[in-house]
Amino acid sequence: MAKKKTETTSLIDTFTEFKETKNIDRTTMVGVLEESFRNVIAKIFGSDENFDVIVNPDKGDFEIYRNREVVADNDVTDPNKQMPLSAAREIDPDYEVGEEVSETIDFAKFGRRAILTLRQTLASKILELEHDSLYNKYKDRVGEIIAAEVYQTWKNETLLMDDEHNELLLPKSQQIPRDFFHKGDTVRAVIDRVDNTNGNPKIYLSRTSPEFLRRLLEMEIPEISDGLITLRRVARIPGERAKIAVESYDDRIDPVGACVGVKGSRIHGIVRELNNENIDVINYTANTKLFIQRALSPAEVSSITLNEEERKAEVYLQPDQVSLAIGKGGTNIKLASMLTEYTIDVFREVEGGEETEDIYLDEFADEIDQWVIDAIKGLGLNTAKEVLNAPREMLIEKADLEENTVDDVLRILRSEFEDEGTNGES
């Protein structure tokens, strides 16, 4: 008997401890405890409607009363809800038929199985409460920045804890390439999504999302948070480089200067947070050609041809500007395309104005594999001169060809025109 009472007391202690750690309000906790007791009582007696369950979680105790109607000894049809007169008079000789008897029930007497059932019911409801609490806390906060503490790092994700010890996940794919965390580090990230599959919420964070950069800018630059400067576009290659387009409707405010700050003072803190991800700030304009020109900075553009229907832009530059437009590893042209939402192809301007006859790529099928020709034509380049005027780096990256394959193609095409030039001189 003493052992069973200890089990029951331990049960209440466990729930009281849960209340202290999870900040469950008293009303909710009492409701959960009462419902859990009633579930077990209903399983034992078939119904719980004639029971009173009084829970006092602050003191760590509870009381259960069963209410039964007194009936004649031979009229008992439901022992759970009716008590024979003889049994009632053993409690109090003054009881009469039709009166109600209220008895205290010792839950421990129900045995270990009942206590185990109660524990399992409580555990299930506690988990459900915990999940609901977590989901409700984060479901409307997607896009907000949060600071959380690193708890554990695995190969594919890092587990963080918020200030209420809720678990947050930062996948490896959402970490900046040079991110490296130690247990106990405080990490800032944006709430990327809240997954509530099967009622089991998971909160996913991101440090690579453009939204993370957008929120950092809003936090660090008062003119943006105050609405004096509008952040029109954000494009990122996480850990490498980013471009942002800003606009101000107040002629007295220089949006680029306000964002960068004196000697980069304002932008520097954000660059540090992003592990030295360089940030280019440009003025936004609704003039598409001018916007593309600014997006390709620091390259100087000579001319631009737009295909607005397909959202493509052919950009022509002097030979010494092509590498600047493309950038290291193609980052500059990638970001410019992301920022302007146009597919950008860059071409070298032909100097001297001399025109020679062009040749379709398909005519080189005896020297160049057809799959290579098809890959290049997939970029919209159909003639030899178009390929020769296109940057080598673009052919490698956008056509997904090996460097030596591209070099062979260029050599074959170039030799064709060199031969023509030789023939002309003779």
| Predicted pLDDT of residue 22 | 55
| Predicted pLDDT of residue 265 | 86
| Predicted pLDDT of residue 19 | 53
Sheet holding 343-348, edge to edge: 303-307, 312-317, 343-348
What is the phi-psi region of residue 140: left when phi exceeds 0, alpha when psi lies from -120 to 50, beta otherwise?
A: alpha
| Predicted pLDDT of residue 195 | 93
CA gap 349, 39 in Å, rounded: 81
Residues 6+ apart with CB under 8 A from 35: 125
CA gap 414, 211 in Å, rounded: 46
| Predicted pLDDT of residue 6 | 53
Q: How many CB atoms lie within 10 A of CB 382?
A: 14
Q: Which CATH superfamily is domain 146-208 in?
A: Nucleic acid-binding proteins (2.40.50.140)
| Predicted pLDDT of residue 58 | 67
Element (H, E) at 23: none
| Predicted pLDDT of residue 351 | 58
CA 365 to chain centre: 48
CA gap 194, 48 in Å, rounded: 38
Weakly modelled stretches of the chain, pLDDT under 50: 1-5, 21, 353-355, 421-426
Bridge partners of residue 279, in order along the sequence? 242
DSSP assigned state of 301: P
> Computed from CA positions of residues 64, 67, 73, 77, in that sequence, does the dihedral angle turn out positive or negative?
negative
User: Are 364 and 296 a contacting pair, CB within 8 Å?
Assistant: no
The CATH class that applies to domain 211-278 reads: alpha beta
Distance set, CA 39 to CA 96, 102, 125, 393 (Å): 32, 20, 12, 70
| CATH number among 1.10.150, 2.60.40, 2.60.120, 3.30.9, domain 361-425 | 1.10.150
**Tokens standing for 156?**
């594919």
Secondary structure E strands in 164-267: 167-171, 186-195, 202-206, 229-237, 241-248
User: Are 121 and 39 a contacting pair, CB within 8 Å?
Assistant: yes
User: Are 169 and 204 a contacting pair, CB within 8 Å?
Assistant: yes
The CATH class that applies to domain 2-136 reads: alpha beta
| Predicted pLDDT of residue 3 | 47
In 3-state terms, what secondary structure has residue 111?
coil
Residues 6+ apart with CB under 8 A from 262: none
What is the phi-psi region of residue 43: left when phi exceeds 0, alpha when psi lies from -120 to 50, beta otherwise?
A: alpha
Q: Check whether the bond before 201 is cis (ω within 30° of 0).
A: no
Q: How many CB atoms lie within 10 A of CB 197?
A: 7
Delimit the domains of the chain by residue range: 2-136, 146-208, 211-278, 285-349, 361-425
Tens digit of pLDDT for each residue in 221-247? 999 999 999 999 999 999 999 999 999
Q: What is the CATH number of domain 285-349?
A: 3.30.300.20
The three-point CA angle 120-121-126 to 5° equals: 95
CA gap 174, 209 in Å, rounded: 7
DSSP assigned state of 176: -
Within this chain, domains 211-278 and 285-349 share the same CATH topology: yes
CA gap 13, 309 in Å, rounded: 69
